[in-house]
Chain A
Amino acid sequence: MTTGRDRLAGQQAELLTALLAGGPSPPGFDENRVHVERKLLRAKRRRVVGYLRPDLPEALGDRFAALFGAYADERPKFAGTRAREDADAFAAWLVERGELPKPRRWNPFRR
């Protein structure tokens, strides 16, 4: 039997999928507002990442927002992911894509 709580869980998951993971706007919602909320959540996530890893917006300059958007499209933030992990995952993604050089390990013997 489906309880009210189960039904609500499904509706909330559907809305977050639309807002965070490219899902369609759920029935009955204003599509324009879903779009505005999507942008707002993306901008907030980007701001937090920029705050925790200021080296990334500094290195990317004007490209920061667009690259973060591409990253966020590929990787919605899953429950349980810490903001710091999200920021580091974006940095690793940038290296994988060749957008940033691989960070060099500090070597005490290198002259």
Chain B
Amino acid sequence: MGAAGAAVGAAAAVADPFGALGVGIGWRPEIDLSISRLPGVDWVEVVAENLHVEHLPTSLLSLKDRGLPVLPHAVSLSLGGAEDLDTARVEHLAAVADALDAPLASDHVCFVRAGGLDAGHLIPLPRTREALDVLVDNVKLTQSILGVPFAAENIAAVLEWPDAELSEARFLAELTERTGCGLIIDVANLYANARNIGTDPEVFLDEIPLEKIAYVHVAGGVDRDGVYHDTHAHPVRPEVLELLAELRSRTEPPGVLLERDDDYPSDTELAGELAAIRAALAAGARP
């Protein structure tokens, strides 16, 4: 896409910050060549922390030059963390979003660091008013640094804090109401929480503000230790695709993205998973 195309994209982003994306896949260096060959990839998402603005991978830039939207996704902002937000991490996300001409940047509803320790992973928040206030403050600060709209994603939990005051969906809804941020709804994480902490997926989908969905994540997982693990290293389960169809029956999400992070399968298998996502969307769209 040339300068004119980029300008059109920017104008569309202003009118509709979560403009239609289509079906995409998480860009990872291990499958960069597969992604450039795969049919039916409308856009990609990339982990912001793995990029250096000065040295963006050639294979990623070539997708961008072909006109595919490339959206940065952060994993380390620790937006629900009670310690001061590490604004250097937000500035990095902002710089990556800028370098990629992305219409949107995102991270998760979770915390990562506390008490001088780094979990290296997304840890659930207590669903209390106190925790929501902290999250709202951190998201507002993040939005003030980013040059693009922000979206927050629901995570997969294997453990739950005691004394929740809000359902997960109400927690997300109030976050969007108070900050104006969008949502990334991960239906595999919703499935994980249904399995692991008793979330009712139907009630969840009833309670979230569907019009705030920027896009949807889909991924695979596995049962281990009596718990469903959201590994991104196993095939997508039919139950997760059913939740995608259920979501589609309620709203048309602007985008859907397949995430795969390990044990990368063949191009054929990846294409099959993308086709299964399209089939689930078509099934959910039927009246």
**B-binding residues in A (CB < 8 A):** 4-9, 11-17, 19-21, 27-30, 33-34, 36-37, 39-41, 44-45, 47-48, 76-81, 83
Q: B82 an interface residue at 8 Å Cβ cutoff?
A: yes
Find out whether the CB atom of A8 lies under 8 angstroms from the CB atom of B131: yes
Q: How far in angstroms is the closest Cβ of chain B from A3?
A: 9
Closest 9 pairs between A and B when the two form their complex, measured CB to CB:
A13-B115, A28-B162, A9-B82, A12-B114, A4-B130, A33-B159, A8-B82, A79-B113, A16-B117
Residue B244, interface by CB 8 Å:
no
Complex CA–CA separation, A105 to B178 (angstroms): 57
Task: Kindly state the separation between the CA atoms of A49 and B59 in the bound complex, as whole angstroms.
Answer: 25
Main DSSP-derived SS at the B contact region: mixed
- The interface size bin for chain B is 20 to 34
**Complex contacts, A5 vs chain B, CB 8 Å:** 82, 130, 133-134
The answer to whether A13 and B162 have CB atoms under 8 Å apart is no
Rounded to whole Å, the gap between the CB of A68 and the closest CB of chain B is 13
B115 contacts A37, C-beta separation under 8 Å: no
Closest residue on chain B to residue A30 by CB atoms: B159
A-B contact number at CB 8 A: 96
Instruction: Provide the main secondary structure of the chain A interface.
Output: helix
Docked CA distance A9–B88 (Å): 20
| Cβ contacts under 8 Å, A12 to chain B | 81-82, 111, 114-115, 123
Contacts of B117 in A (CB 8 A): 13, 16-17, 20-21, 76-79
Kindly state the separation between the CA atoms of A83 and B118 in the bound complex, as whole angstroms. Answer: 11
A15 and B163 contacting across the interface, CB-CB below 8 Å: no
CB < 8 Å: which of A8, A29, A80 contacts B130?
A: A8
Say which residue of B82, B83, B120, B225 sits within 8 Å of A48 (CB atoms): B120
Chain B residues within an 8 Å CB radius of A76: 117
Complex formed: what's the CA distance from A28 to B250 in Å?
36
Known: A13-B117, A15-B123. 19 other contacts (CB 8 A): A5-B82, A5-B133, A9-B82, A11-B126, A13-B115, A17-B115, A19-B123, A20-B117, A29-B161, A30-B160, A34-B159, A36-B159, A37-B123, A41-B121, A48-B120, A77-B117, A78-B117, A79-B118, A80-B118
Q: Contact at B82–A28, with CB atoms within 8 Å?
A: no
Cα distance A9–B159 in the bound complex, in angstroms: 18
Which of B82, B129, B133, B229: most chain A Cβ within 10 A? B82
Q: Does B4 contact A (CB under 8 A)?
A: no
Question: Within the complex, what minimum Cβ distance (angstroms) separates A75 from chain B?
Answer: 11
What distance in Å separates the Cβ of A77 from its nearest Cβ neighbour in chain B?
5
The reply to whether B159 and A4 form a contact with Cβ atoms under 8 Å apart is no
Q: A19 to chain B: which residues have CB within 8 Å?
A: 119, 123
Contact pick for A29, options B118, B131, B159, CB 8 Å: B159
A39 lies within 8 A of B225 (CB): yes
User: Is A40 within 8 A of B229, CB to CB?
Assistant: yes
**A28–B115 Cα gap in the complex (Å)?**
20
Closest to A14 in B: B115
List residues of chain A with CB within 8 A of the CB of B225: 36, 39
Of residues A11, A19, A76, which shows the largest number of chain B Cβ atoms within 10 Å of its Cβ? Answer: A11
- A13: nearest chain-B partner, CB-CB: B115
Most buried by B among A6, A41, A79: A79
How distant is A17 from chain B, measured CB to nearest CB, in Å? 6
Distance of A54 Cα from B158 Cα, bound (Å): 29
Q: Digitize B105-125: 1 where CB-to-A-CB distance is under 8 Å, 0 elsewhere.
A: 000000101111111110100
